[in-house]
Amino acid sequence: MHASVLLGLLALAAVPGSARTLDYPFNIAARTPAAPDLTPAEIISQLGPQLSANSSIFADDDRRWANATERWQAYSRPNFVVVAEPATEADVPVIVKYANSYGIPFLAVNRGHGSTKTLGNMQNGIEISLAQLRSIQIAEDEKSALFGGGAFDGEVMDTLWEKGFVTGTGSCSCVSLMGPGLGGGHGRYQGFYGLIIDMLISLNVVLADGSTVTVNETSHPDLWWAMRGAGHNFGIVTSFEAEIHPRTVDEWFINRFIFTQDKLEAVFEVLNEQQQDGGQPQELMNYLAFSWDEEFSTTEPILDLFFHYVGSAEDAAPHLEPWEAIGPLSSTPQSLPYPEVPDATGTGLHSDMCQHGNTNMQFPFSIKEHNITATRQLWDYYVNVTTARPEFQQSIVVFQAYSLQGVQAVDPDSTAFPHRDDRIQCDVLVTYEPDDSLDEDAIAFGKQLRQHSADGHPGEEQHVYVNYAFGDEPVEQMYGYEPWRLERLRETKTKYDPDNVFRFYNSFM
């Protein structure tokens, strides 16, 4: 797999452990309903007439089924009996109320890139596809836009850029805007405007009982706090208003460097220097991956670095010099409009990174700075395993250094997102063609790679970016170690979802 697939991965840290036993008053019977006796045909005949004219509802004998249910992560995937695709926001509460009336679990699906193993707990349910809810309407004052809950990054980037605007998105064109946003939402513009959640103005939400609410600073403020960082646990966002900003440059400068393993220590010294004390300029981002790429070597992996700068090559030059001084194997500069950056860096809509069907397990971690000795050990282990096991050679280890200026400008207590001080987001992505016989070895491989980093940072809290958690990490690593955070989340959950209907995506209960 081409090394430039690294850009879509936005991740933080974890060492697996046990979750707490909870004493909250949840209706256990409602959380684990018996499988309904209804057949797919009966569900379609009953629910279909209740939906608006352009909605769809179908089962696995329909030609649309494979495309609607295919996922980026083949391991531990949800199982559905029907797909309901609403044409309007008003259809979503109808589907939720119907499912509740029969005790059928349901899961809202946007682009199908969620990778946590906990999604496999969804069995015999209804997929609520948001594929038709993709509208983008710029407000008259041109300071915000109203997005459909199914809007995805590529469409958002293209539409806004053409009109002279940008907003925060993830790094992959193919991924939804709100899916990652519910867990925080790291991305290339965070140095300027913060996380995706920091640009939100209002959410239109379908709650667990099928009721609809508008959620913002003054309407349901407790839910407003909780959904910005833990939103997968609280409802389905059918549309949302978010800030947009005038685009400040016409082109970004991108430089891809390829380094051989003998340059590893020098490379990570520069990464530490450029990220030191969180002082990385707003305009600067560095993404690096350990990966195999036959274009450069068939005998060992490479270090594949993408240098990003929001501006011209001339303005980027002082930050570029340390990388050139190391002596890269290859250096490829280019300037291009922002919507073309994903294609150029391996995370465009049609890139390898964005395609469904593989097993893609993620084992994220975050660090404040690189322990270069530990990084060398991580590299050696990665090389040894992938050399001995070629079936894992699509796997990569990613190190991402975004600017933190926009992220840290927001009060850390004002949202449920707990990790605003994490300087370097990292991820082990174990990728291979689906094969159940490889799953246990793949998990052991990913966890051991992550453990090498943890061993190199003794005494530090282990943090996990919830959007890319493997799914068995302690809840504190995903949602914060401060006791008040989890207490507040659980109180809000008890209020808005007492039957734990939204339980399939990295639950904190």
Residues 299 and 443 in one domain: yes
Q: Among candidates 201, 224, 186, 195, which has minimal Cα distance to 407? A: 195
Whether residue 78 is contained in a domain is answered as yes
Residues 334 and 469 in one domain: yes
Whether residue 423 is contained in a domain is answered as yes
Residue that finishes a domain, picked among 77, 106, 129: 129
In angstroms, rounded to a whole number, what is the distance separating the alpha carbons of residues 194 and 269?
A: 26
Residues 335 and 202 in one domain: no
Residue that finishes a domain, picked among 129, 157, 179: 129
| Contact between residue 202 and residue 140 where contact means Cβ atoms under 8 Å apart | no
Domain of 108: which CATH number?
3.30.465.10
Q: What is the mean pLDDT of each run of 10 residues along the chain (509 residues)?
A: 37 31 38 65 98 98 97 97 98 98 97 96 98 98 98 98 97 95 96 97 98 98 98 98 97 98 97 80 94 96 97 96 97 97 92 93 93 96 98 96 93 97 93 98 97 93 95 97 98 98 97
Residues 230 and 368 in one domain: no
Domain of 299: which CATH number?
3.40.462.20
Residues 140 and 11 in one domain: no
Residues 76 and 225 in one domain: no
According to DSSP, the residues that pair with 427 across neighbouring strands are 364, 398
Residues 226 and 110 in one domain: no
Whether residue 506 is contained in a domain is answered as no
In angstroms, rounded to a whole number, what is the distance separating the alpha carbons of residues 301 and 379?
A: 9
Residues 382 and 274 in one domain: yes
Residues 425 and 453 in one domain: yes
Q: Among candidates 179, 178, 157, 182, which has minimal Cα distance to 167? A: 157
In angstroms, rounded to a whole number, what is the distance separating the alpha carbons of residues 389 and 289?
A: 19
Residues 123 and 184 in one domain: no
Say whether 305 sits in a helix, a strand or coil: strand
Lookup: tokens for 494: 């008890």
Task: Provide the residue range defining the domain that includes 164.
Answer: 136-247+487-496
Q: What is the pLDDT of residue 504?
A: 98
Give the position of tokens 């305009």. 283
Q: What is the pLDDT of residue 277?
A: 64
Residue that finishes a domain, picked among 129, 155, 183: 129
Strands 125-129 and 80-85: parallel
Number of domains in the chain: 3
Say whether 247 sits in a helix, a strand or coil: coil
Q: What is the pLDDT of residue 26?
A: 39
Whether residue 29 is contained in a domain is answered as no
Whether residue 411 is contained in a domain is answered as yes
Strands 200-206 and 236-243: antiparallel
Q: What is the pLDDT of residue 36?
A: 60
Q: Among candidates 397, 409, 175, which has minimal Cα distance to 288? A: 397
Say whether 137 sits in a helix, a strand or coil: strand
Residues 273 and 234 in one domain: no
Residue 461 DSSP class: P
Residues 349 and 325 in one domain: yes
Q: What is the pLDDT of residue 276?
A: 75
In angstroms, rounded to a whole number, what is the distance separating the alpha carbons of residues 208 and 258?
A: 49
In angstroms, rounded to a whole number, what is the distance separating the alpha carbons of residues 350 and 423?
A: 30
In angstroms, rounded to a whole number, what is the distance separating the alpha carbons of residues 343 and 502?
A: 34
CA trace torsion 288, 290, 291, 297 (10° rounding): 100
